[in-house]
Amino acid sequence: MTETVDREAIRARARASRLATCKYWRGALAQPPCGAGVDLVARVGPRRMAGWALRIPCCDAAAPVFACERKCVPTPEEDEARQRAIGEMLALLPAVMTAIPSDKSITHGEVPCPKCGGPVRWERSPVNGHLRGGCAAGCVSFIQ
Ligand SMILES: [Zn+2]
């Protein structure tokens, strides 16, 4: 059976969600307060509460518990600029990942940034081999 994926509809939903999400939202796992100084746990309750994400005003919940006076959503132009910047950063990753030695016994190092030529410092977890790192100038960062 062939499954049809409407990529445009998925993109439109994701864009609508981004445009409804506060610039100060730092994610559900971030410690309060948010970037605007609002303590969501104090105002909404513990995050382990069922449906917590539907109760906060930060994203696109239909009926949040309170209307945040500090909510500030991106303009369509800001969203487009951010998406473009993310795309540019993602385009750098294959070159960075290829430059990092595949030898798992090497646990850290530096490779040149494909954008600015500066150092991309990286480290490999001795536990699971995952990589993380970033360019000192901020061109690219990753957690794998
Ligand atoms: Zn760089």
13 Cα to the center of ligand 1, angstroms: 32
- Cα–ligand 1 centroid distance for 133 (angstroms): 12
Q: Which residue has the tokens 């910047």?
A: 85
pTM of the model: 0.74
Q: Which helix (H) or strand (E) holds 86?
A: helix 76-99
Angstrom CA distances, 136 to 44, 68, 81, 89, 102, stand at 38, 35, 22, 14, 22
Average pLDDT over residues 80-92: 96
Distance 30 CA to ligand 1 centre (A): 27
**Range 58-80 average pLDDT:** 95
Among 1-5, 13-17, 89-93, whose mean pLDDT is lowest? 1-5
Q: From ligand 1's centre to the CA of 36, what distance in Å?
A: 29
Ligand 1 centroid to Cα of residue 87, in Å, is 15
Q: pLDDT (tens digit, 9 = 90+) per residue, 4-59?
A: 889 999 999 999 999 999 999 998 888 889 999 999 999 999 999 999 999 999 99
Average pLDDT over residues 107-113: 97
Please, what sign has the CA dihedral across residues 73, 65, 26, 144?
A: negative
- How many Cβ atoms are within 10 Å of 33's Cβ, its own excluded? 16
Q: How far, rounded to the nearest angstrom, does the alpha carbon of residue 63 sit from its chain's CA centroid?
A: 24
Query: Residue 31: what pLDDT?
Result: 85
